Structure 1
Amino acid sequence: MSLKKIQTIIAGSPTKVGSIDVQELLPYEKGFYDPFLVFHHGIAKADPNIPIHIQGVGPHPHRGFSAISFIYKGGIHHQDSRGNNHIVYEGGTQWIHAGMGIIHSERVPADIFEHGGVQELLQVWVNTPAAHKMDQPHYYPATKADTPTITTEDGLVEILVPAGELDGTKGIIPTFTPVNTFMVNMKAGGKYTFQIPVTHQSLVYVLSGRVLYNNETTITAKHMALLEKQGNEFTIEALENSALFIGSGEPLNEPIAAHGPFVMNNQTEILQAFRDYQMGKMGVLIEETN
């Protein structure tokens, strides 16, 4: 075993997506972080003076990648052009293999005020291999109760594994290529050593709190550590109560052509995606409003 070092720590920049205040970490100054394309940390406080069904992110298309929401607070009401209509709450995951095209919305659930009135989530885009970009779309929801979980003996660390594998615990969401996603909650003093394949690109993002990486580097809230490929393990210790996300995946090493909501391999395919969307080939979404 050898330690995996930090390549760089990034803070991202603020932006807005629908009614959600977002910290955008990826893409960063060097571009994408193959296979990770986009990484957004979003927080939205529900407004009691605005109809709930129009809060959040309205209908929009995707093609060529997986769009994933990891819910840390509140919930998300997902609807799409394939007929899926589903709500997932805190600790859950909504994973969309967009394939050849899907239109979806991510709204605030009608009962959001019963769940604290705040929606906090990570939206992560994972690239799809060229061979599967035009597959039929699939939607995979997972509640916290559904999600395989590791809890340390001292009760200070809880790790949800929606996809991938950690120390023999396997996630339930299928992926086209090896991808690990770990939602981690740590109480002060909690510690865990993560094993990551040396072939993976990997990252650590701290949503809240403060953690110590390999007993030498402090990572604070809303900062992401991009890790060196060399090495296959690292230890995280919580210096205070912390929520974080760890992701890793094998790079596709394929050409990337990205424009707005479409990620393909060349510009011709991007133009075709816009044409197909305009022609209604990705379906139609008429949202439920109650």
Structure 2
Amino acid sequence: MRAIQYIHGDKAPHWVGDGFYVKTLINHLEDNPDFNYNHTDPFLLFDYGEPTRFSPNPDYKLQPHGIGQHPHKGFETVTLAYDGEISHADSTGGRGDILEGDVQWMTAGRGILHEEFHSEAFGQRGGIFSMVQLWVNLPSKHKLTGPKYQSIKRADMPIIELINDSDAQKQTIIGQVAIIAGDWHGITGAATTFTPINMWDVALHAAGTTSIQVPNTHNTLLLIQEGQLLVNGTAVSAGDLIQFSAPIHVNTESETPSHSTTDSIELTYSRDAQGIVKLLLLSGEPIGEPVAGYGPFVMNTQEELRQAFRDYQIGNFGK
């Protein structure tokens, strides 16, 4: 069983623009000896947007809630909508609405400009809005890859049923997993990635215990998006981010490290809790390269970072 190292979550929420009320649970710029990029590699930043109610916006067409055009370079942004809807548009022509349960996987690569707002439909009606956004690092050989946009609909994600381990003979289904990215016992997720990454959207709706398997070569994190449960026997609740123990050493010279050895994570849901439990499992093979980041750019060296800002200032951004 993969041991729990720390449980994080005591971050103050803040606004991103006027549409996203989030807690930044991972930040590669922080120098916390117990929880820094070495423990989360390849994940750079993680914003948890707890459920927040928005009133209908009378100016939803001309002044939607969100954040206007801004740049990114050297990594990918991944946005998952739990409640509400997000409209995206970028400088490559990629655009669309991220509906409930959908994922936007945007590769900034050598440079992209994009904007994110509440959709017109959500702005008009208002309601509960909840999302998460993750920054995923790119290895040096792919830092300057061409930008691209993956719109991943819920219907395109493989869905795996979770069985109650404590009564396996009855094959009682207590939840399900949507495979956004990665591999679940040979079933491949909907997203394409540059390095080995698992991103699994987990929901438990009935009492019981189930186990999920993660590669022991991966840095592994688990967000409690909604509800309460036991993880490896430890009580956790919405807003907690679990950091599991360090992975085993990876042979960085291998292009395709073996993922045949796994660790288990035990999830126990009690009917004493209210509603459905929602979790997001993140695991990734560490890239193991130096990181130089500032604001919306993440490169490998300070000189590359300075060049990124120069390119942006003189109009060569993304070229």
**TM-score relative to the length of structure 2:** 0.83
Q: Which runs of 5+ in 2 are unaligned?
A: 163-170, 249-261
- Rounded to whole Å, the distance in 2 between the matches of 1:282 and 1:73 is 34
- Rounded to whole Å, the distance in 1 between the matches of 2:209 and 2:125 is 29
Are positions 1:128 and 2:127 aligned together? Answer: no
- Rounded to whole Å, the distance in 1 between the matches of 2:208 and 2:297 is 40
Are positions 1:265 and 2:300 aligned together? Answer: yes
- Does the 8 Å CA contact 1:150/1:169 hold for their aligned counterparts? no
- Provide Cα deviations, 1:25-78, integer angstroms capped at 9, x if missing partner: 002633222111101012454342452253112211110111100111112111
Residue 34 of structure 1 corresponds to: 41
- Does the 8 Å CA contact 1:258/1:270 hold for their aligned counterparts? yes
Alignment map for 1:86-165 (pairs within 5 Å): 86-112=96-122, 117-152=127-162, 154-165=172-183
Residue 177 of structure 1 corresponds to: 195
Deviates more, 1:252-261 or 1:10-19: 10-19
Residue 277 of structure 1 corresponds to: 312
CA root-mean-square deviation? 1.9
- Rounded to whole Å, the distance in 2 between the matches of 1:193 and 1:116 is 37
- Does the 8 Å CA contact 2:103/2:153 hold for their aligned counterparts? yes
Aligned pair count reads: 280
- Rounded to whole Å, the distance in 1 between the matches of 2:122 and 2:57 is 14
Residue 205 of structure 1 corresponds to: 223
Are positions 1:227 and 2:258 aligned together? Answer: no
Are positions 1:58 and 2:68 aligned together? Answer: yes
Q: CA deviation at 1:12?
A: 4.1
3-state SS in 2 of match to 1:25? strand
- Does the 8 Å CA contact 1:87/1:109 hold for their aligned counterparts? yes
- Does the 8 Å CA contact 1:133/1:264 hold for their aligned counterparts? yes
Are positions 1:4 and 2:2 aligned together? Answer: yes
**TM-score relative to the length of structure 1:** 0.90
Are positions 1:242 and 2:260 aligned together? Answer: no
- Does the 8 Å CA contact 2:55/2:126 hold for their aligned counterparts? no
- Does the 8 Å CA contact 2:54/2:126 hold for their aligned counterparts? no
- Rounded to whole Å, the distance in 2 between the matches of 1:190 and 1:147 is 24
- Rounded to whole Å, the distance in 2 between the matches of 1:282 and 1:154 is 54
- Rounded to whole Å, the distance in 2 between the matches of 1:244 and 1:69 is 15
Larger radius of gyration: 2
Q: Percent sequence identity over matched residues? A: 36
- Rounded to whole Å, the distance in 1 between the matches of 2:71 and 2:111 is 7
Identify if the C-alpha distance between structure 1 residues 52 and 46 changes in structure 2 by more than 3 Å, giving closer, same or farther: farther
Identify if the C-alpha distance between structure 1 residues 146 and 112 changes in structure 2 by more than 3 Å, giving closer, same or farther: same
